[in-house]
């Protein structure tokens, strides 16, 4: 039967699912599948949580909107698990923190500090280090480099407040000084839920590739003033999507 939020059936989603937050970006990504939008299938539009399924290089692949933040993400992720998805790549935006980072830079996460409420609720306040699947993450790094991209690779932090709107300017500096290279809003829950599923006997892989939509160190501007334009953001989203699609589908081809 359909899930509560994803009105789809088992088999509607491919094992490999890309996870953007924005429904418009989900449509953009679906247009990059084999044959473009004319050849993909809309498998969910309930609550405008757009989900599409098609192929890329002949490999089945889906894209599913998650919304912004971990409360929405954990609902979508849980229902995708119930619908049979097993490999997840978050493709999203982030606020760059590390010195020298610039808007448009590509970031691949090696861990995600769980500063969000949903992951902390799952953990009941206990310490935990959410981390992605190593092999899938390595494929993202290798694929990015093969496409001429030199990604930043390191730990991010998942937060509940859009970083340009955080009232304390010292908050970003504090986490930068702890080695966090970017803020985003979903990765910690993705990594935790994938690890929890694997521990229960359902092997699930997850990874995360991001583009820096704003940067703490860019021209000494406030983050909102360094934010990418709509056109730049679309180009950046396409860039990281190409990496995610190549890395994700190559993993499936290698395993076939």
DSSP letter (8 states) at residue 201: T
Whether residue 206 contacts residue 133, with contact meaning beta carbons closer than 8 Å, is answered with yes
DSSP string, 77-120: HHHHHHTT--EEEEEEEEEE-STT--TT-EEEEEEEEE-SHHHH
Of the candidates 36, 37, 81, the one whose C-alpha atom is nearest the C-alpha of residue 195 is 81
The dihedral over CA atoms of 119, 69, 96, 18, expressed in degrees to the nearest 10, equals 100
251: CB partners within 8 A, 6+ apart: 16, 87, 135, 136, 139
Of the residues 34, 45, 214, 220, only one is catalytic, namely 214
The verdict on whether 214 is a catalytic residue reads: yes
SS3 206: strand
Q: Locate tokens 């494929």: which residue?
A: 139
Tokens of 13: 């989603």
110 vs 43: CA distance, rounded Å: 31
Catalytic residue numbers read: 214
């Amino acid at each position: 039967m359909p899930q509560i939020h994803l009105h789809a059936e088992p088999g509607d989603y491919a094992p490999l699912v890309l996870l953007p937050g924005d429904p418009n970006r989900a449509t953009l990504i679906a247009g990059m599948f084999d044959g473009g939008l004319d050849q993909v299938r809309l498998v969910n539009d309930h609550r405008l949580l757009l989900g599409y399924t098609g192929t890329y290089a002949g490999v089945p692949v889906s894209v599913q909107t998650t919304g912004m933040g971990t409360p929405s993400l954990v609902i979508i992720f849980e229902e995708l698990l119930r619908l049979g998805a097993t490999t997840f790549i978050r493709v999203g935006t982030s606020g760059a923190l590390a010195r020298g980072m610039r808007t448009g830079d590509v970031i691949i996460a090696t861990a995600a500090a769980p500063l969000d409420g949903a992951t902390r609720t799952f953990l009941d306040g206990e310490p935990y280090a959410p981390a992605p699947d190593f092999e899938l993450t390595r494929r993202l790094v290798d694929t990015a480099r093969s496409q001429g991209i030199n990604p930043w690779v390191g730990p991010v932090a998942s937060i509940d407040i859009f970083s340009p709107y955080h009232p304390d300017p010292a908050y970003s500096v504090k986490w930068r000084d702890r080695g966090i290279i970017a803020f985003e809003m979903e990765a910690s829950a993705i990594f935790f839920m994938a690890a929890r599923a694997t521990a229960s006997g359902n092997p699930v892989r997850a990874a995360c590739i991001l583009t820096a939509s704003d940067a703490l160190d860019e021209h000494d501007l406030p983050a909102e003033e360094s934010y990418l334009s709509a056109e730049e953001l679309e180009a950046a989203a396409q860039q990281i999507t190409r990496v995610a699609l190549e890395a994700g589908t190559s993993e499936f081809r290698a395993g076939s």
